[in-house]
């Protein structure tokens, strides 16, 4: 996949996307809830539900994005990661962003790659852990758009990389720094926080929760901290369904009872966005203060951490070394294979 013979390799960075203005909030939410991977109802019912939910949630969501300057930071963050990855990969590689629910959409990435004349394509989700609701949905959309536009370049997928050494090293590095900061208030507890999913999704065989556990355990080991106190928790629950747990609220309450400082490590988010900058930095920090937690330290998302970017480059060079391997370790079939 090098430049030998002037070959061009397109790297497609999958992510969810985010509204680029306050006016885009409601259509972004509509696109999200109109995805069959998110709401499994038949098409016409799903469309009606998406219209209703997006209209109901838009005012609250606009308030959140107002705190972020009127737009999601996810696209600029992903653009920075794309440039950093191109720098490491060198000549002959170009990154294209394919967001699922807002610009730049997947169809825009397909068109740009076709115009560039890529000889091969590597699909690189910026979701380290596979879920049917994230990588699965992005992959389905990619295949549909590539077929529709006649993009025939050989394509390989790195479906997930929950224990990729660069990712683990970068996260452990940030976790150690957060731990040292919180240690002045007592022996800290690291909380690896991931976006939640309804239990019904996991019950259908989605490997996300098991892969989050793989990442957290690998990072905890890599910190090198003896007898590390750590736990996994889940945030961003919406709706009346039963979600996987424990919730971050429950873990903060436990930390409050135990009187220990907490270090929050985003374990499934590789970029800053509303779930980190508002939920973790504002809402849960306020909750921690109310609970009397001695210190609350939130570790940055991986962003352009050099070890993480080098890790992504390794995934690009050897996607076959990662696809299906996490599920194999877990003794289950891989949904993307």
> Residues near 294 by Cβ (< 8 Å), separated by ≥ 6?
185, 186, 259, 260, 261
DSSP 300: P
d(CA 213, CA 233): 10
Reading the block at residue 127, the tokens are 């979701």
**Ranges assigned E (strand) in the chain:** 9-15, 93-99, 120-125, 155-157, 189-195, 229-235, 262-266, 296-298
Contacts from 197-201 at CB under 8 Å and sequence distance 24+? 197/131, 197/133, 197/234, 197/243, 197/244, 198/239, 198/241, 198/242, 198/243, 198/244, 199/241, 199/242, 199/243, 199/244, 200/241, 200/242, 201/131, 201/132, 201/133
C-alpha distances (whole Å) from 219 to each of 104, 130, 232, 259 are 32, 18, 12, 24
DSSP 118: -
What count of other Cβ atoms lies within 10 Å of the Cβ of residue 203?
A: 9
DSSP 146: H
> Residues near 64 by Cβ (< 8 Å), separated by ≥ 6?
274, 278
Q: Report how far apart the first and last C-alpha atoms of the chain are (Å, whole number).
A: 22
Q: Does the annotation flag 195 for ligand binding? A: yes
DSSP 101: S
Give the distance from CA 86 to its chain's centroid.
20
Q: Does the annotation flag 107 for ligand binding? A: no
Secondary structure (3-state) at 194? strand
Binding-site residues for Fe(2+), in ranges, read 195, 275
Binding-site residues, in ranges, read 195, 275
């Amino acid at each position: 996949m090098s430049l030998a013979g002037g070959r061009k390799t397109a790297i497609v960075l999958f992510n969810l996307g985010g509204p680029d203005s306050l006016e885009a909030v409601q259509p972004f939410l509509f696109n999200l809830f109109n995805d069959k991977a998110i709401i499994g109802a038949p098409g016409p019912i799903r469309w009606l539900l998406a219209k209703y939910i997006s209209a109901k949630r838009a005012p609250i969501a606009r308030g959140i994005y107002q705190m972020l300057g009127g737009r999601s930071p996810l696209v600029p963050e992903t653009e920075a990661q794309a440039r950093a990855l191109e720098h490491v990969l060198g000549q002959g590689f170009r990154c294209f962003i394919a967001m699922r629910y807002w610009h730049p959409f997947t169809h825009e990435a397909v068109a740009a790659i076709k115009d560039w004349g890529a000889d091969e394509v590597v699909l690189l989700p910026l979701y380290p852990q596979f879920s049917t609701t994230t990588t699965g949905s992005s992959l389905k959309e990619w295949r549909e758009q590539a077929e529709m536009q006649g993009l025939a370049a050989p394509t390989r997928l790195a479906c997930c990389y929950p224990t990729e050494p660069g990712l683990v090293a970068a996260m452990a590095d940030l976790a150690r720094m957060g731990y040292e900061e919180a240690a002045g208030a007592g022996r800290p507890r690291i909380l690896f926080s991931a976006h939640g999913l309804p239990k019904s999704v996991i019950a259908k065989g989605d490997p996300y929760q098991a892969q989050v556990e793989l990442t957290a355990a690998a990072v905890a080991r890599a910190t090198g901290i003896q007898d590390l106190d750590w736990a996994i928790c889940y945030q961003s629950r919406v709706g009346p369904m039963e979600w996987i747990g424990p919730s971050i609220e429950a873990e903060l309450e436990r930390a409050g009872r135990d009187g220990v400082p907490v270090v929050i490590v985003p374990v499934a988010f590789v970029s800053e966005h509303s779930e980190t900058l508002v939920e973790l930095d504002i809402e849960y920090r306020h909750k921690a203060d109310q609970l009397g937690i001695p210190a609350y330290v939130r570790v940055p998302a991986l962003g352009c951490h050099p070890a993480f970017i080098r890790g992504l480059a390794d995934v690009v060079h050897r996607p076959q070394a990662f696809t299906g391997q996490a599920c194999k370790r877990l003794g289950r079939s891989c949904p993307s294979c």
